Amino acid sequence: MAKRKLEATDLFKIQSITNPVISPDGNEAVFIRTEMHKKDNKYYAYLYHVKIETSEVTQWTHAKEKVSSPKWSADGKQLAFISNRDDKNQIYIMSAKGGEAKQLTKFEKGVSSFIWSPCSKKIWFSASLKDGRSWTDEAEEKEDKLPEAYVVDNMKYHNDGVGLLPKDTYRQIGSIVIASGEIKAFTEGTFNHSLQAISHDGKKLVMGVNRDESQDFSFHEPMLLIDIETKKESVIIEEDGHFGGATFSSDDQYIAFGGMLHTFKNATHAEVYVYEVSTGKLQILTEGIDAPVGDYAGADIQQGANAPDVVWTNQNHLYFQLSTMGDVRLYFASLDGEIYPASPENEHVYGYDIARNGTYALATISNTIFPGELFKLNLATGERITITNFNEELINEVELVEPEAIVYKGLNDWDVHGWLMKPAGYQEGQKYPLVVEIHGGPHTMYANTFFHELQLLAAQGYGVLYVNPRGSHSYSQHFVDAVRGDYGGGDYEDIMAGVDYVLKENDWVDEKRLGVTGGSYGGFMTNWIVGHTNRFNAAVTQRSISNWISFYGVSDIGYYFTPWQIGTDMTNIDKLWDASPLKYAANVETPLLILHSENDYRCPIEQGQQLYITLKAMGKETSFVRFPQSDHNLSRVGFPNLRQTRLDQITSWFAKYL
């Protein structure tokens, strides 16, 4: 039986399998399955249990809710998780034998994160709290409240996906006794605290806190080791940069964590750090690897994926993710410097946990024609056992196109890596249109992972070219940093060299039917391309940047991201304008569809509005689609119906002009 072509609505059939967590004894585990519910227009995430020996899978929660952050108690008898079934994210707890979950917290603003105490009788948590209030206060009455003015005092006052930040509210750390519900505050003050780790002896806590009086240009959060009884603090690291995911070794002698300095601002490679508790010595375990620690892959189906920064075994060995050459692989490291890959090439390990004895891993893995499932990996032999098959029916039903990996020479004779997909149903001797996709970031990457949007374009009869130009992660520090101060320069040349390479090597590509699209940075680059060449016949720009001058003041990150990436601020308007696609609007001859979310605080909708009105006034072929109640992440976690609308708009535009 012939397979059918993939459709936009198949997005609703893809199951996202994430967050495996192994029990302390290694005999069982839990994970999360997320689905997009078309009728309710929501995402639901369910908790599942698996017996390791038999791979028997059982669904543990069934309510229409979003479950996240499952964690076993130290004695393995209980499981806690965060759920939004009570509107806000709250902690729930259940027996490891199954049964109904009990709500543990009822905080007005919900819970940010939590960690079990080693005694298994108490849970530590971090939650937002208004200054002067306690978690035991009754919730404020908000019904029929008159609108109030929002007085802005700081430059960091709004965030994409959040909106205006709550006034006089700070993230604090506390603990709650499970049996009695007694709550004790651990931190106080007008600062945000992040809960990182608790030692196995229950005596020490790791937290992050930035106590700078003004934090507008403060880009660090010192990581501190706290004596729980005396509250005496020791600094683990306080460099400019981002650090987190701390975890104690089983003997409490070491603390491992992930993080990046600001040497190259947000283009700096992340590393694995190890802190020796007794001496205060700090080493960078991965400094010999010229690739970033962590998962930098861009995709559109892995909802709720949240992998640990680093995991210890009882032998004081560590495992972590590494983004390398378009892959996200699991890596092993020892404290004496031994480091090697623990998973193969050509795939995306987007979630994992390691058995404490170091014998096996549970990992959620995807590749270009496989949406992702849960596997058990034998860490000694590499053998793997498939545990889940939630996406098997869809895979067997639809025709998927396996991309061809390509390498070509970009500007300065640099190697540029990417992928080329032939159209679904490709027939030798026929000519096909080609769509060029450009990722966001720019410091992310296309990877060997499943991407529904790319498969959909192939199913619609397009070849698809997607590459990692300079500025992309997973190659080298020099490569990822090379885009800063050169937007529209070498990155543009790398992408266009990819088009030239594909046209030269593939006679099935119709050079008179070329399309281009991308979002965020990819939207900027789409705008830039159509202002600098007329070789494309259709373009779709999404959540884009068109004007760096206005972006500086309206984006939630504009005032620092702009100088980081463009190399200047409002003191040099000419340089900002020269790097703005809007400056070149008069050159645009390519029909351009502009897609933008109305609640996008990262690349605010005025960026799309400016471009649309300017092009329209010039008599250019353009259209503008606005997505209500949506932010910068529409294509990944937005309302399901609007995600489908977005895909329909893209494919309709290309169908019209290609």
- Say whether 262 is catalytic: no
* Domain membership flag for residue 509: yes
CA distance 354 to 312: 8
Residue 52 lies in a domain: no
Q: What is the pLDDT of residues 258-317, one digit of tens each?
A: 999 999 999 999 999 999 999 999 999 999 999 999 999 999 999 989 999 999 999 999
- Is residue 591 included in any domain, yes or no? yes
Burial class (CB in 10 A: 0-12, 13-18, 19+), 149: exposed
Q: 422: closest CA among 410, 409, 435, 407?
A: 435
For the CA atoms of 411, 266, 603, 302, the dihedral, rounded to the nearest 10 degrees, stands at 90
Residue 84 CA, chain-centre distance (Å), reads 20
| Phi, psi at 653, each rounded to 5° | -65, -45
**Number of folded domains that form the chain:** 1
Of residues 206, 202, 204, 177, the one with CA closest to residue 194: 206
Partnered with residue 243 across adjacent β-strands are 259
Mean pLDDT of 324-330: 98
CATH number for the domain harbouring residue 575 = 3.40.50.1820
pLDDT in tens, 9-63: 999 999 999 999 999 999 999 999 999 999 999 999 999 999 999 999 999 999 9
Pairing of the two strands 183-185 and 169-177: antiparallel
Q: Any idea which of 145-149, 527-531, 628-632 has the lowest mean pLDDT?
A: 145-149
pLDDT number for residue 98: 80
What type of residue sits at position 619?
Answer: G
Helix (H, G, I), strand (E, B) or coil at 400: coil
Residue closest to 364 by CA, chosen among 12, 30, 60:
30
Confidence of residue 99 (pLDDT cuts 50, 70, 90): confident
Q: Please answer whether residues 513 and 435 qualify as being in contact, where contact means their C-beta atoms are separated by less than 8 angstroms.
A: no
Choosing from 269, 323, 632, 635, the catalytic residue is: 632
Question: Is 350 within a domain?
Answer: no
Tell me whether residue 178 is in a domain. Answer: no
DSSP string, 472-523: -SSS-HHHHHTTTT-TTTHHHHHHHHHHHHHHHH-TTEEEEEEEEEEETHHH
User: Residue 180 pLDDT > 80, yes or no?
Assistant: yes
Judge contact between 111 and 127, C-beta under 8 A: yes
Q: In Å, how far are 368, 440, 565 from 602, measured between CA atoms?
A: 29, 12, 14
Exposure b/e, 611-633, CB count within 10 A at least 16 = b: bbebbeeeebebbbbebeebbbb
Q: pLDDT over 90 for what percent of the chain? A: 96
Question: In Å, what is the CA distance from 17 to each residue of 47, 65, 81?
Answer: 10, 16, 16
Taking only the tens place, the pLDDT of each residue in 452-492 is 999 999 999 999 999 999 999 999 999 999 999 999 999 99
**Following DSSP, what letter does each residue of 293-314 receive, concatenated?**
BS--B--SS-TT----S-EE-T
Q: Please indicate whether residue 83 is annotated as part of the active site.
A: no
- Secondary structure of residue 33 in the 3-state scheme: strand
CA 552 to CA 555: how far, in whole Å? 6
Catalytic pick from 126, 323, 520, 544? Answer: 520
Helix (H, G, I), strand (E, B) or coil at 562: helix
Any domain includes 534: yes
Q: Answer whether residue 149 is part of any domain.
A: no
Element (H, E) at 35: strand 28-37
DSSP-based three-state secondary structure for 260: strand
Domain for residue 358, yes or no?
no
Of 89, 168, 83, which Cα lies nearest the Cα of 131? 168
- Among candidate residues 229, 341, 217, 318, the one with its CA nearest the CA of residue 272: 318
The residue segments making up the domain with residue 526 are 401-657
Residue labelled with tokens 């309302």? 639
User: What is the tens place of the pLDDT at every residue in 501-545?
Assistant: 999 999 999 999 999 999 999 999 999 999 999 999 999 999 999
Paired strand residues for 163: 159
pLDDT for the residue numbered 143? 57
